[in-house]
């Protein structure tokens, strides 16, 4: 099977939903898919675009009272400056940083699962941004780390051919599906702001980056 063709099981694993949910979506035409005989198959590039479109569309606003508060999920010590040209090395360093958060109980599991997710499908969303993310039963509450790369990360398979320079790594508890999606959507929308992206890339210390991200 070609590398860019996914099964229902692989799509379900990537989206962190049940295989039945993916099947229902395919039957209703809600997700890009096709049949080979009687078996559903999914083109990796189309699923990736579908996910990115949903994350960045802002079509489902966050309900009042549940607005994402960056200061509740990020601290200055979890903003790191990276100097790697490959996504593997950048992801490992950022995962090692995120695993120091008290909400993460099994550090090596976080790194393994982040890399597995990235291998299945790129988390780059364009504009030089990647949002690697995972939900794990060993994580007690949603938490994140931010990586600001001093060089282009060239192998993220970006949808717009722009090398990744900003990484927002999110880990959540397995039962935080709605909050998890809200957080992904929040950062996808907020990082459309070119001034914010440029400001983050120009800072030289974590506190300045933290202030930019927590500013209302």
Span 5-57 CATH architecture? Orthogonal Bundle (1.10)
Q: Which residue has the tokens 């001034």?
A: 195
- What pLDDT is attached to residue 128? 94
pTM of the shown model: 0.72
pLDDT for 65 equals 41
Per-residue model confidence (pLDDT) at position 152: 95
In the 3-class helix/strand/coil scheme, how is the chain assigned residue by residue? CCCCEECHHHHHHHHCCCHHHHHHHHHHCCCCCEEECCEEEEEHHHHHHHHHHHHHHCCCCCCCCCCCCHHHHCCHHHEEEECCCCHHHHHHHHHHHHCCCCCECCHHHHHHHHHHHHHHCCCEEECCEECCEEEECCECCCEEEEEEEEEEECCCCCCCCCCEEEEEEEEEECCCHHHHHHHHHHHHHHCCCHHHHHHHHHCCCHHHHHHHHHCC
**Residue-range domain boundaries for the chain:** 5-57, 70-214
d(CA 162, CA 157): 9
Supply the CATH classification number for the domain 70-214.
3.40.930.10
The pLDDT score that the predictor gives to residue 161 is 86
**pLDDT given at position 61:** 43
Q: How crowded is the C-beta side of 139, counted as CA atoms within 13 Å?
A: 28
Pairing of strands 79-82, 143-153: parallel
Per-residue confidence of the chain (216 residues) as pLDDT tens digits?
A: 345 888 888 888 888 777 888 887 887 777 888 888 778 888 888 888 887 777 655 444 444 445 688 999 999 999 999 999 999 999 999 999 999 999 999 989 999 999 998 888 888 988 999 999 999 989 999 999 999 999 999 898 887 889 999 999 999 998 888 888 888 888 988 999 999 999 999 999 999 999 999 986
């Amino acid at each position: 099977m070609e590398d860019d063709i996914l099964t229902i099981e692989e799509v379900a694993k990537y989206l962190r939903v049940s295989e039945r949910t993916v099947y229902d979506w395919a039957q209703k035409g809600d997700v890009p898919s096709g049949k080979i005989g009687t078996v559903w198959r999914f083109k990796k590039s189309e699923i990736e675009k579908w996910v990115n479109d949903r994350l960045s569309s802002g079509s489902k606003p966050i309900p009042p009272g549940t607005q994402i508060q960056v200061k509740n999920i990020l601290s200055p010590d979890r903003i790191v400056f990276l100097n790697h040209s490959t996504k593997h090395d950048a992801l490992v360093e950022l995962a090692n940083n995120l695993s120091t958060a008290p909400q993460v109980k099994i550090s090596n599991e976080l790194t393994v699962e982040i890399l597995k997710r990235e291998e299945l499908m790129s988390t780059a969303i364009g504009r030089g941004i990647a949002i690697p993310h995972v939900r794990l039963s060993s994580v007690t509450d949603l938490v994140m780390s931010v990586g600001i790369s001093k060089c282009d990360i060239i192998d993220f398979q970006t949808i717009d051919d722009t090398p990744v320079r900003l990484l927002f790594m999110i880990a959540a508890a397995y039962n935080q599906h709605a909050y998890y999606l809200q957080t992904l959507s929040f950062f996808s929308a907020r990082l459309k702001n070119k001034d914010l992206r440029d400001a983050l890339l120009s800072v030289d210390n974590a506190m300045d980056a933290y202030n930019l991200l927590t500013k209302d």
